[in-house]
């Protein structure tokens, strides 16, 4: 019997645009959320531990593993000769990244072997017993030295150009050329790399991997084992943080665990210690950016010629697209009339650098902001005025260096609103007045905008799948190709699905990402998770809904348009049937209640050879104002206040989006301030643990931290519910911190000189900048 | 003496446990995760810096039960005899309801990836129990030892401030059961020495300070473990053998801190947290400095005695202790000797501590009349960081305004904590004026040849050292606004 309802239905619980809590929040706080190291181990589980090289660049003369094999609990030691397929985990297919080094090592920390033992502690202690003889070769870890030495490139460089930058520079009234060093960054995901492999029948293996890219792990495990992808299943319930550090970096760990599991027919887990994780896995690229800019007396840019040299490490990994994205974001919100930008992805004897939130974009953008700052100091202007003068506009000033027209520009409105909300003008006057007193403590304030291009620049990556089942009790099973690393992707996609079917969110069960459910997925990266997977889930829902509508129309004899999904019910003609009951009817009517959804981003195309196209579907915007205090005796500083206005289109979930903005800003602030990667003279990374590598703490968060969404914004493109991507763009809001620090020290020389702060702007870096300013002032008298 | 007990006994959540098989190097974190399958407590760094493994440890301190947050990754099972270990699994009510701090974290979206979250929940729990309506400073201090990479902390701080509005500690099981737990812990403290674990990984828990002296005479090569904030890393990072390990953190005689005759007497087992009130009251110049030692968990575990005894050139307490003229008392068997603390540090890794000696007490003279005193710590990150340069400066001014005595001790500038003898000389007999300070600043170059490392370059260390002398004089001469105060936005 159908239940007939006549009252107006209420709204569903947990639909789109609602500040819904993270679906795992209650499990996070109770410790019940399961990470890979928490999974109940199969009986007989073995543990793997990597043996790492002790040299930055050397030929391997001999490897003596006898003591390792004789250590307590050791079952086996794997080297390159144990690899049954290809000894390679290069995500590019360039075959430049061995699982285990064979004849040579190219950075200090490169895996040479893996110990397999009964316990992790035994494996780890045994790994330290290896005796490897090396013949040392010269090495370079530093990007500037690598550029000066003419080191080889790990991948093809990119050039973006328009007009004739050199000729325009020669004609410019004002011209500045200088350089900026931009440091790298360790991801410092709280859960380190980990994989747990279970051998199966024939060539099969199941791998639990902490990865943002299960399909690539699947592919790499197959590649290393020498088995087809259909033999490998990769599962990811959640990661304890990723930030790009688990896009390709999980491959090696998964491959080693799978190799050992297949060889021994036992489950094998691998989890490096934090120090080894930070030593042996890739990071954000450091850059040396050299720029030559020409501008008129109003501060309008006429030409930019810049090169972006990057420390890529020993192999290509993702350095190609990362350095590409640096070029794509050097313009930020500004029009460069004549422009020539070139990348230099340099080989260095360091761990191969990789994806990290922003993917080169932050490094490009901070260089662009430096150029603005240079102009402002040269002309004695408020940098904000220089920014406004250079914003993309119309009349031909709306085309990027990669020849994409900026169609959705809201930078001007965001800046204007933030300027007003944050009382920027008054506060800048107050800062100037404060500094006029001439004390030890100086203040600075800066407003910087963000424009970030959304889409993978590898166009084929912009596709996604989802698998949706409705069981005959009316409960819904959701699976999609994205991975949950804390960003709340699962919550957002479930909200989309709840909204599609008009059911309460708790009816939707989110299940672990698995290569067996949705194949050929892209990395959960490039901020694309909800855009792609939300659309794929909506597509799956749409397929099921159209079948349900057709069924109801026929079953009840009503026109299709009279079948409407209402909150937790379906209205058919003038009767409302509760969802469970309706689904049961559909099942009895033999309707297929399962669908595989698919989505590919429209409109985008990119021709790398010519440097032209529309690589980005749309742009996400934002702006921030930071105010800082600097102690000019020690270089110590504090971020006193931050105001942010950020564009997420029509937010799928304002609470989660705010979390991404706050978190992204603080992570960006860490990158630009206290997070320093430091190699010693032997090429050993010495900041390889939280004792030496300092990410922000609660007490580094600005005491006044106002974050708001641009609630009027809606994506002009047809994205999922008109939302915009949010993972990466807020990271670059932290650029204003560096520029505020810069202003504080510039006050020591009457704001006449751009302090040219490199990043990270550690207290040391800031103090030396202050010293330069003092020296400049003294010279001038 | 009674035969030693051969098991470590403690309470784990609501269950009494006896661990006979524990070895010296076994950490509480591995015990929880591997032995007990309590997997809410996470390993993030295994060096006491990230806080993902934070648990509460309740112990009797002067007969009073105190609960403190600690890092389970560097806390040894051997140090837990007679304690109450509380993990995140214990927080949820029997009805399955979330604890107020958990509920606040969920309500305020305080978790994203969730991996650090149980550690944060435990730190917030520790805070809430003592202070359910904390201000921002209290929250930040309580969270100094917890790293989150996702949220940017803002929602966690909001949750910390909201938890007290959801529930108050009066209803909390740890508060309600305080008397019962106290009684149980007293029962566990049977006054016996404990010896257990395999020969190559031996735990010894002496019954008293005298017993400690006896143990060390018997095992002069033993590793003495107080707070394990340093020794913990010997095991987790360097895989060093520490057997036999003698655990002393529980010894009541070493936990005393008292003030008398213008001196603070600090037992070697007194933690930074335990000393905070006394130090703040009697040497207020060290109050802010003290809050920047480690993070909350490290301050709850680490001892001043350990900070001295391990001889590190970058420990935070030796510079101020030396500048104040502290002495250290070492004991071997029944013999004691007392020496000026500065004489204790001989060279890098070498102290005037002979085999079998243990640090028993540190006596710190309070600044006297005419003493001007300050301590500064410079680090890349303000909190929970190791100093690149640390300095404590004490000058005694005569009635005529001239310096009669100067003690300037630096950390991070040499292979040991070291006094700036030449700079001191440049000040003695002079007024604190521009000239004398300029001379002292120049003299620093003959006092130190600092090194460059991942914390700072030699140039930065030297320049900052000089500038801190300048700052001291500015402050003594009443210059206002020379330092940044947190939360003092324009």
The reported pLDDT for the residue numbered A9 is 58
Q: Taking CB atoms and an 8 Å cutoff, what residues of chain A touch B110?
A: 29
Q: How far is CA A44 from CA A69, A117, A118, B36, B404, in A?
A: 19, 11, 8, 18, 72
Cβ within 8 Å, pair B116-A22: no
**A687 pLDDT higher than 80:** yes
- Average pLDDT, integer, range A179-207: 98
Gap between the Cα atoms of B195 and B202, Å rounded: 7
Q: A38 at the B interface (CB within 8 A)?
A: yes
Q: Which residue of B has its CA nearest to A237?
A: B113
Q: Are B371 and B396 in contact (CB under 8 A)?
A: yes
Q: Taking CB atoms and an 8 Å cutoff, what residues of chain B touch A680?
A: 453-454
Cβ within 8 Å, pair B112-A488: yes
The reported pLDDT for the residue numbered B480 is 67
Q: Which residue of A has its CA nearest to B385?
A: A691
Gap between the Cα atoms of B95 and B82, Å rounded: 29
Which residues of A are tagged catalytic?
Answer: 728
**A490 pLDDT higher than 50:** yes
Q: Taking CB atoms and an 8 Å cutoff, what residues of chain B touch A771?
A: 463
- Average pLDDT, integer, range A385-413: 97
Q: Taking CB atoms and an 8 Å cutoff, what residues of chain A touch B117?
A: 28-29, 31, 33
- Vertex B142 angle, CA B154 and B42, to 5°: 85
Contacts of A760 (CB under 8 A, 6+ apart): A183, A671, A672, A673, A674, A675, A676
Cβ within 8 Å, pair A697-B136: no
Cβ within 8 Å, pair A441-B45: no
Q: Which residues 676-715 in chain A show a CB within 8 A of chain B?
A: 676, 678, 680, 686-687, 689-692, 694-701, 703-705, 707
The reported pLDDT for the residue numbered B445 is 98
pLDDT digits (tens, 9 = 90+) for A535-546: 999 999 999 999
ipTM: 0.97
Q: Are A530 and A460 in contact (CB under 8 A)?
A: no
Gap between the Cα atoms of A252 and A88, Å rounded: 9
Gap between the Cα atoms of B419 and A764, Å rounded: 23
Q: Which residue of B has its CA nearest to A440?
A: B482
Q: Which residue of A has its CA nearest to B107?
A: A21
Residue with tokens 């971020």: A639
- The tokens describing A188, both together, are 């410092």
Q: Which residue of B has its CA nearest to A444?
A: B490
Cβ within 8 Å, pair A638-B474: no
Contacts of B128 (CB under 8 A, 6+ apart): B100, B101, B134, B160, B163, B164, B169
Helix/strand/coil for A738: helix
Contacts of B484 (CB under 8 A, 6+ apart): A441, A629, A630, A631, A636, A637, A638
Q: Taking CB atoms and an 8 Å cutoff, what residues of chain B touch A190?
A: 42, 44, 50, 52, 113, 115-116, 147-149
Report chain A's mean pLDDT, rounded to a whole number.
97
Gap between the Cα atoms of A78 and A84, Å rounded: 11
Q: Which residue of B has its CA nearest to A36?
A: B39
Of A631, A690, A696, the CB nearest to B484: A631
Q: A658 at the B interface (CB within 8 A)?
A: yes
Gap between the Cα atoms of A334 and A291, Å rounded: 15
Helix/strand/coil for A440: coil
Helix axes B100-107, B154-166, angle to 10 degrees: 130
pLDDT digits (tens, 9 = 90+) for A406-435: 999 999 999 999 999 999 999 999 999 999
The reported pLDDT for the residue numbered B355 is 87
Q: A26 at the B interface (CB within 8 A)?
A: yes
Residue with tokens 């019997």: A1
Q: Are A707 and A625 in contact (CB under 8 A)?
A: no
Helix axes A361-379, A735-746, angle to 10 degrees: 30
**A5 pLDDT higher than 70:** no
Q: Are B295 and B49 in contact (CB under 8 A)?
A: yes
pLDDT above 90 as % of chain A: 98
The reported pLDDT for the residue numbered B92 is 85
The 3-state secondary structure of chain B reads: CCCCECCEEEEECCEEEEECCCCCCCEHHHHHHHHCCCCCCCCCCCCCCCCCCEEEEEEEECCEEEEEEEEHHHCEHHHCCCCEEECHHHCCCCCCCCCHHHHHHHHCCCCCCCCCHHHHHHHHHHHHHHCCCCCHHHHHHHCCCCCCCCCCCHHHHHHHHHHHHHCCHHHCHHHHCHHHHHHHHHHHCCCCCEEECCHHHCEEECCCHHHHHHHHHHCCCCEEECCCCCHHHHHHCCCCCCCCEEECCCCHHHHCEEEECCEEEEECCCEHHHHHHHHHHHCHHHHHHHCCCCCHHHHHHCEHHHHHHCCCCCCCCHHHHHHCCCEEEEEECCEEEEEEHHHHEEECCEECCCCCCEEEEEEEECCCCCEEEEEEEECCCCCCCCCCEEEEEEEEECCCCEEEEEEEEEECCCCCCEECHHHHHHHECCECCHHHHHHHHHHHHHHCCCCCCCCCCHHHHHHHHHHHHHHHHHHHCCCCCCCCCCCCCC
Q: Which residues of chain B have pLDDT under 50?
A: 489-490
Q: Which residues 283-342 in chain A show a CB within 8 A of chain B?
A: none
| E strand or H helix at A657 | helix A654-672
The 3-state secondary structure of A147-167 reads: HHCCCCECCCCCEEEECCHHH
Count helices and strands (H / E) in chain A. 19, 29
Q: How far is CA A457 from CA A359, A527, B84, in A?
A: 11, 12, 55
Confidence tier at A727 by pLDDT (50, 70, 90): very high
Cβ within 8 Å, pair A28-B453: no
* Cis previous bond, B244, omega within 30: yes
Of A241, A273, A762, the CB nearest to B115: A241
Of A659, A686, A763, the CB nearest to B109: A659
Question: Pairing between strand A205-209 and A195-199?
Answer: antiparallel
pLDDT digits (tens, 9 = 90+) for A441-478: 999 999 999 999 999 999 999 999 999 999 999 999 99
Q: Which residues 443-482 in chain A show a CB within 8 A of chain B?
A: 443
User: How many C-beta atoms surround the C-beta of residue A504 within 10 A?
Assistant: 17
Of B116, B151, B384, the CB nearest to A659: B151
pLDDT digits (tens, 9 = 90+) for A310-354: 999 999 999 999 999 999 999 999 999 999 999 999 999 999 999
Cβ within 8 Å, pair B380-A697: no
Closest CA to A602 of A620, A578, A618, A588: A618
**A8 pLDDT higher than 60:** no
Burial of A686 (0-12, 13-18, 19+ CB in 10 A): middle
- Which of A21, A23, A24, A28 best tests the B interface by mutation, with the highest count of B CBs <10 A? A28
């Amino acid at each position: 019997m159908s239940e007939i309802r006549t009252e107006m239905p209420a709204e569903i619980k947990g639909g789109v645009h609602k500040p819904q809590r993270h679906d795992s929040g209650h499990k996070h706080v109770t410790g019940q959320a399961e990470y890979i190291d928490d999974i109940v181990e199969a009986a007989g589980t073995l543990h793997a531990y990597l043996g790492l090289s002790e040299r930055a660049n050397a030929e391997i003369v001999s490897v003596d593993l006898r003591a390792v094999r004789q250590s307590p609990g050791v079952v086996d030691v794997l080297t390159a000769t144990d690899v049954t397929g290809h000894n390679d985990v290069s995500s590019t297919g360039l075959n430049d990244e061995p699982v285990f080094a064979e004849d040579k090592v190219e950075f200090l920390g490169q895996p040479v072997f893996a110990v397999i033992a009964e316990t992790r502690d035994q494996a780890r202690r045994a790994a330290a017993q290896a005796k490897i003889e090396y013949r040392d070769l010269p090495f370079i870890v530093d990007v500037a030295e690598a550029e000066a030495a003419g080191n080889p490139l790990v991948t093809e460089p990119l050039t973006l150009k328009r007009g004739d930058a050199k000729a325009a520079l020669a004609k410019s009234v004002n011209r500045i050329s200088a350089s900026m060093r931009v440091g790298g960054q360790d991801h410092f995901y709280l859960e380190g790399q980990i994989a747990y492999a279970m051998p199966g029948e024939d060539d099969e293996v199941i791998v639990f991997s902490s990865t943002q890219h299960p399909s690539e792990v699947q592919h790499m495990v197959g590649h290393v084992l020498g088995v087809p992808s259909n033999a490998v299943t990769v599962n990811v319930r959640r990661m304890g943080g990723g930030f790009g550090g688990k896009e390709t970096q999980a491959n090696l760990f998964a491959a080693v665990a799978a190799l050992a599991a297949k060889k021994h027919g036992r489950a094998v887990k691998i989890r490096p210690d934090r120090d080894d994780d930070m030593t042996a896995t890739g990071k954000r690229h450091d850059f040396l950016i050299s720029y030559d800019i020409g501008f008129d007396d109003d501060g309008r840019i006429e030409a930019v010629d810049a090169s972006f040299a990057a420390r890529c490490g020993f192999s290509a990994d993702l350095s190609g697209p990362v350095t590409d994205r640096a070029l794509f974001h050097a313009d930020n919100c500004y029009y460069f009339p004549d422009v020539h930008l070139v990348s230099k992805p340099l080989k260095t004897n360091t761990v191969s650098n990789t994806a990290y939130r922003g993917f080169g974009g932050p490094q490009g953008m901070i260089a662009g902001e430096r150029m603005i700052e240079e102009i402002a100091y040269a002309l004695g202007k408020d940098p904000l005025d220089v920014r406004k003068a250079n914003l993309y506009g119309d009349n031909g000033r709306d085309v990027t260096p990669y020849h994409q027209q900026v169609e959705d520009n809201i930078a001007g409105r965001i800046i204007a609103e933030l300027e007003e909300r944050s009382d920027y003008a008054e506060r800048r006057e107050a800062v100037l007045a404060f500094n006029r007193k001439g004390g030890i403590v100086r203040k600075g304030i800066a407003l910087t905008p963000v424009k970030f291009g959304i889409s993978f620049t590898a166009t084929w990556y912009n596709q996604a799948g989802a698998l949706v089942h409705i069981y005959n009790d009316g409960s819904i099973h959701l699976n999609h190709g994205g991975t949950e690393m804390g960003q709340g992707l699962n919550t957002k996609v479930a909200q989309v699905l709840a909204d599609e079917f008009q059911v309460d969110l708790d009816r939707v069960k989110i299940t672990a990402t698995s290569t067996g459910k949705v194949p050929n997925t892209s990395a959960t990266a490039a901020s694309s998770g909800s855009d792609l997977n939300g659309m794929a889930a909506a597509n799956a829902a749409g397929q099921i809904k159209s079948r349900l509508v057709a069924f109801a129309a026929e079953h009840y004899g009503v026109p299709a348009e009279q079948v409407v999904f209402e909150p937790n019910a379906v209205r058919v003609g003038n009767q409302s049937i509760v969802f469970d009951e309706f689904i049961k009817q559909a099942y009895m009517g033999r309707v297929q209640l399962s669908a595989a959804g698919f989505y590919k981003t429209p409109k985008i195309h990119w021709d790398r050879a010519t440097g032209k196209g529309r690589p980005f579907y749309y742009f996400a915007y934002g702006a921030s104002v930071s105010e800082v205090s600097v102690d000019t005796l020690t270089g110590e500083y504090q971020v006193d206040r931050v105001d942010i206005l950020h564009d997420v289109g029509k937010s799928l979930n304002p609470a989660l989006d705010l979390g991404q903005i706050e978190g992204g800003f603080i992570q960006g602030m860490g990158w630009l301030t206290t997070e320093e990667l430091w190699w010693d003279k032997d090429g050993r990374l010495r900041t390889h643990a939280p004792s030496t590598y300092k990410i922000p703490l609660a007490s580094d968060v600005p005491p006044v931290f106002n974050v708001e969404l641009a609630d009027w914004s809606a994506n002009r493109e047809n994205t999922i519910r008109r939302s915009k991507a949010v993972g990466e763009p807020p990271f670059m809001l932290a650029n204003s911190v560096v520029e505020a620090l810069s202003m504080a020290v510039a006050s020591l020389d009457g704001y006449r000189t751009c302090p040219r702060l490199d990043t990270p702007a550690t207290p040391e870096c800031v103090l030396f900048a202050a010293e330069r300013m003092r020296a400049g002032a003294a010279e001038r008298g | 003496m009674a035969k030693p007990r051969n098991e470590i006994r403690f309470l784990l959540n609501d269950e009494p446990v006896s661990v006979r098989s524990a070895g010296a190097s076994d950490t509480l974190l591995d015990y929880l995760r591997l032995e007990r399958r309590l997997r809410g407590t996470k390993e993030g760094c295994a060096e006491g810096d990230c806080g993902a493994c934070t648990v509460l440890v309740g112990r009797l301190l002067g007969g009073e039960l105190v609960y403190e947050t600690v890092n389970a990754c560097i806390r040894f099972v051997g140090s837990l005899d007679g304690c109450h270990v509380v993990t995140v699994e214990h927080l949820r009510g029997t009805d399955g309801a979330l604890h107020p701090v958990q509920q606040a974290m969920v309500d305020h979206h305080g978790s994203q990836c969730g991996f650090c979250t149980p550690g944060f929940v435990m730190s917030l729990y520790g805070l809430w129990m003592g202070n359910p309506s904390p201000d921002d400073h209290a929250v930040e201090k309580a969270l100094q030892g917890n790293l989150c990479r996702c949220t940017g902390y803002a929602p966690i701080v909001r949750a910390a401030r909201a938890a007290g509005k959801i529930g108050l500690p009066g209803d909390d099981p740890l508060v309600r059961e305080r008397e019962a737990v106290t009684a149980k812990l007293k029962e566990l403290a049977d006054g016996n020495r404990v010896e257990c674990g395999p020969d190559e990984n031996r735990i010894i828990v002496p019954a008293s300070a005298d017993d400690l002296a006896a143990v060390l005479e018997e095992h002069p090569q033993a590793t003495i473990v107080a707070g394990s904030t340093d020794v913990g890393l010997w095991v987790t990072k360097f895989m060093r053998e520490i057997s036999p390990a003698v655990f002393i953190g529980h010894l009541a005689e070493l936990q005393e801190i008292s003030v008398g005759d213008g001196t603070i007497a600090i037992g070697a087992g007194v933690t930074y947290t335990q000393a905070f009130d006394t130090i703040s009251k009697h040497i207020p110049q060290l109050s802010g400095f003290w809050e920047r030692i480690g993070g909350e968990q490290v301050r709850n575990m680490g001892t001043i005695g350990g900070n001295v005894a391990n001889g590190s050139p970058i420990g935070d307490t030796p510079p101020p202790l030396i500048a104040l003229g502290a002495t250290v008392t070492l004991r071997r068997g029944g013999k004691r000797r007392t020496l000026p603390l500065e004489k204790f540090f001989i060279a890098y890794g070498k102290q005037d501590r002979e085999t079998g000696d243990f640090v028993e007490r540190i006596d710190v003279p309070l600044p006297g009349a005419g003493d001007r005193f300050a301590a500064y710590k410079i680090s890349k990150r303000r909190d929970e960081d190791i100093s690149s340069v640390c300095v404590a400066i004490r000058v005694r001014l005569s009635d005529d305004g001239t310096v009669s005595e100067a003690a300037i001790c630096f950390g991070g500038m040499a292979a040991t904590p070291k006094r700036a003898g030449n700079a001191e000389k440049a000040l003695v007999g002079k007024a604190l004026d521009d000239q004398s300070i300029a001379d002292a600043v120049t003299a620093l170059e003959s006092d130190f040849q600092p090194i460059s490392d991942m914390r700072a370059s030699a140039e930065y260390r030297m320049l900052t050292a000089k500038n801190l002398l300048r700052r001291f004089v500015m402050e003594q001469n009443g210059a206002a606004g020379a330092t940044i105060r947190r939360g003092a936005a324009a």
